[in-house]
Amino acid sequence: MSDNQNAIADTVAFKSYVGIIGNIFAMLLFIAPITLMIKLHKNQVDPLKVPFLVMMMNIMNCVLWLAYGILAKDIFFMVCNGVGYSLNLIYLCLYFIYRWRKDFKQALVFCALSVISAMFILVLIAFVFLSKGAAQYSAMIFNIFMYAAPGQKIVSLFHYIFL
């Protein structure tokens, strides 16, 4: 092999290692809310005090990056965000079930709306519009929203103090 081919092979290997490490850290991020779900199950946390907006923004983030991964044919994006999308939908549905324990029909309606709307967005972007750029830039926007979502608690505290 020539030096140029070795350099290309090293670059591809490096990108693969970075992709694997990134997927591992992302999976840890997606697994983290399990402790919150356990606390909800044991009634240690009031469901009304759970910042569910974080789960919703995480679902949107994963859906859009999954659509981008499908369009870019990037296995790292597809696997990681497919798992994150599924786990966060499960977390959100569990949240709705724990929030409306006595009114199971309402919980089912919100679960169904969450699943259907997330699937609709995925199908629309990945299989109808076929725009890799739209998926990428909208995913970046929801990535920012996802990390800003914990501010939901700060806004409610501000509202409580000043209004």
- The torsion defined by the Cα of 98, 102, 105 and 108, in degrees rounded to 10, comes to 10
- On whether the CB atoms of residues 58 and 84 are closer than 8 A, the answer is yes
Q: Which residues contact 118 (CB under 8 A, 6 or more apart)?
A: 59, 60, 63, 85, 89
Between 1 and 10, where is the model more confident?
Answer: 10
Segments of the chain assigned E as strands = none
Between 54 and 153, where is the model more confident?
Answer: 54
pLDDT band at 160 (very low <50, low <70, confident <90, very high): low
Q: Which residues contact 159 (CB under 8 A, 6 or more apart)?
A: none
Question: In this predicted structure, what is the pLDDT of residue 104?
Answer: 84
How many structural domains compose the chain? 1
Dump pLDDT digits (tens) for 29-87.
889 889 888 998 898 888 887 877 888 888 999 999 999 999 999 888 899 999 999 99
What is the percent of the chain with per-residue pLDDT over 90, rounded to a whole number? 20
Domain that includes residue 83, residue range: 3-162
Question: In this predicted structure, what is the pLDDT of residue 51?
Answer: 75
pTM of the predicted model over 0.85: no
- On whether the CB atoms of residues 133 and 126 are closer than 8 A, the answer is no
pLDDT band at 153 (very low <50, low <70, confident <90, very high): low
Q: In the predicted model, what is the mean pLDDT of the chain?
A: 84
Cα distance between residue 136 and residue 133, in whole Å: 5
Q: Which residues contact 61 (CB under 8 A, 6 or more apart)?
A: 81, 84, 139, 142, 143, 145, 146
